[in-house]
Chains A and B, each alone.
Chain A
């Protein structure tokens, strides 16, 4: 158990809908990262927050947005969902501010999203 929790574990929805994925980092970790992993593909970095502020951005679609709240949990919002958005979405946390990759990231169990 990494100490990172993600809810829900599974999510089934329809195209055009909007969903929210939630992540609670390990106690004491200030950074939260979101990744997308499509079937049989590698991990694609989406976005990172550090202590409530956006720190780094990857190839995140404009239909996707995220935020980190004062209690440090984070939410990833996916809107106007398309079939291609079906994937595993992982959250990771680390204690450091990030940027150099020096910090160790601890990954949650993921949320499996299926868009029908």
Chain B
């Protein structure tokens, strides 16, 4: 399966901007990139999705360069409640022709007061 790579962990303080980058070298031409947030013992929750350039919603921004081999999730002014694991999700075209979904390894964000 194609791999996605994210930093294992990141630390930040309340009020700072946090940028988490995901590498996905084997992304397919028609694949979208989606980011999820997961709290302990809960199912992941959708944050944002994009195909190229920049997408912004009420909670985050997503930056995707032209080659689409990576993406960066940007969380403006984080708070303690943003402490969670963040996953990037892309389709995997290499699973013997059957499409499969690949979550990144996840980035554990710890926000300090």
Contact = CB atoms under 8 A, between A and B. Distances in A.
Interface string B41-52: 111111001010
Given A45-B100, A98-B99, A110-B41, A59 B1 contact: yes
Interface string A23-54: 00000000001010000001111001000000
B81 interface: no
Nearest to B103: A43
A110 B42 contact: yes
B88 to A, nearest CB: 10
Given A42-B105, A42-B106, A99-B91, A109 B46 contact: no
A11 to B, nearest CB: 15
A109 B43 contact: yes
Q: Give the one of A59, A100, A110 with max B CB within 10 A.
A: A100
A57 B91 contact: no
Contacts of B90: 101
Contacts of B103: 35, 42-45
B99 A99 contact: yes
B71 to A, nearest CB: 12
Contacts of A42: 87, 103-106
Nearest to B91: A101
Contacts of A59: 1
Interface in B1-21: 1
Contacts of B51: 102
A109 B31 contact: no
Interface in B77-111: 87, 89-91, 95, 98-106
Interface of A: 2, 4, 33, 35, 42-45, 48, 55-59, 88, 90, 92, 98-102, 104-110, 112
